[in-house]
């Protein structure tokens, strides 16, 4: 579904993403992990057309999207969340989600139907008339997911959607991601909470200093010596994370 080949990004003298190649299988959930500053968000920015690549290529659903802009990539069905959620604060939660649905639907009634369905899936309908500025972080994060789901994508990129949430809120988001994936959407997610990564991911990709140091099944990846050295640490225990 998504295929990266030699993806590289240089910011002046710094190679933020270094010759990264991997595939994400259609219908799967794939985790992207690594230390702070290892290039995860930059990689999302490259895939989603926010930054141009220095070299390499990205294919989505058989189409070369390397040089496409974000909106064109979103039109093909590949959308992402941002680490810092920035909803439109002066309109209701529902209107925020309707904005996403307008990507495919020009008709207001159709767009609203899709938005309501997305909010239902995330158990957000009770907040529909509230402006996001009055909602807690966990609900804002869910709203961001509802907004991208309402574009009716084939694949979503989630950038630390569990960051800053308590264990119960985190569990809810994990269940939501499973529900979304069950509808057929492919998921690639950046996450520091290893327990969630282990529960959700069919495959885990690890970046360190911009380079991919592991790519495989979660069990194999967490037992990989280089991953332990670079990221997890010797006393790593999934239950603690």
Beta-carbon contacts of 236 under 8 Å, excluding residues fewer than 6 positions away, are 194, 222, 228
CB of 164 to ligand ATP, least distance (A): 13
Interface with ligand ATP, residue 81, by CB under 6 A: no
Q: Which listed residue (30, 33, 34, 173) binds ligand ATP by CB under 6 A?
A: 34
E strand or H helix at 206: strand 203-208
Q: Which listed residue (8, 10, 28, 37) binds ligand ATP by CB under 6 A?
A: 37
Interface with ligand ATP, residue 39, by CB under 6 A: yes
Query: Distance between CA atoms of 49 and 106, rounded to whole angstroms?
Result: 24
Number of residues that bind ligand ATP (CB under 6 A): 11
Handedness of CA 79, 182, 102, 117 (dihedral sign): negative
From the list 35-43, 74-82, 125-133, 213-221, the region that binds ligand ATP by CB under 6 A is 35-43
Taking the least distance from each CB to ligand ATP, the nearer of 42 and 96 is: 42
Among residues 20, 1, 25, the alpha carbon closest in space to that of 9 is found at: 20
Q: Which listed residue (18, 30, 31, 40) binds ligand ATP by CB under 6 A?
A: 40
Q: Which listed residue (4, 31, 33, 38) binds ligand ATP by CB under 6 A?
A: 38
Give the x/- contact pattern for ligand ATP in 13-32, rule: CB under 6 A. Answer: -x-x----------------
CB of 44 to ligand ATP, least distance (A): 8
Helices 93-101, 108-121: axis angle to 10 degrees equals 120
Rg (CA), the chain: 18
CA 107 to chain centre: 28
Maximum pairwise Cα distance, the chain: 55
CB of 110 to ligand ATP, least distance (A): 36
Among residues 152, 154, 130, the alpha carbon closest in space to that of 143 is found at: 130
Query: Distance between CA atoms of 1 and 17, rounded to whole angstroms?
Result: 21
CB of 14 to ligand ATP, least distance (A): 6
Taking the least distance from each CB to ligand ATP, the nearer of 176 and 208 is: 208
Interface with ligand ATP, residue 201, by CB under 6 A: no
State the residues that interact with ligand ATP by CB under 6 A: 11, 14, 16, 34, 36-42
């Amino acid at each position: 579904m998504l295929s990266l080949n030699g993806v590289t990004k240089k910011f002046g003298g710094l190679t933020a993403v270094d010759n990264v190649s991997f595939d994400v299988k259609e219908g799967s959930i794939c985790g992207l992990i690594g230390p702070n500053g290892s290039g995860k968000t930059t990689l999302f920015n490259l895939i989603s057309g926010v930054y141009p690549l220095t070299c390499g290529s990205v294919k989505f659903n058989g189409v070369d999207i390397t040089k496409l802009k974000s909106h064109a990539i979103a039109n093909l069905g590949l959308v992402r969340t941002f680490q810092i959620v920035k909803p439109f604060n002066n309109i209701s939660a529902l209107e925020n989600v309707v904005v996403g649905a307008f990507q495919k639907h020009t008709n207001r009634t159709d767009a609203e139907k899709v938005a309501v369905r997305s909010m239902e899936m995330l158990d957000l309908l009770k907040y529909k008339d509230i402006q996001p500025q009055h909602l807690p972080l966990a609900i804002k994060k869910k709203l961001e997911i509802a907004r991208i789901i309402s574009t009716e994508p084939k694949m979503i990129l989630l950038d630390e959607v569990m960051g800053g949430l308590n264990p119960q809120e985190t569990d809810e988001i994990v269940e939501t991601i499973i529900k979304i994936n069950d509808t057929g959407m492919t998921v690639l997610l950046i996450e520091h909470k290893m327990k969630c990564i282990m529960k959700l991911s069919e495959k885990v990709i690890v970046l360190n200093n911009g380079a991919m140091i592991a790519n495989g099944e979660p069990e194999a990846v967490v037992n990989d010596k280089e991953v332990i050295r670079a990221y997890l640490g010797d006393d790593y225990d999934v239950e603690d994370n």
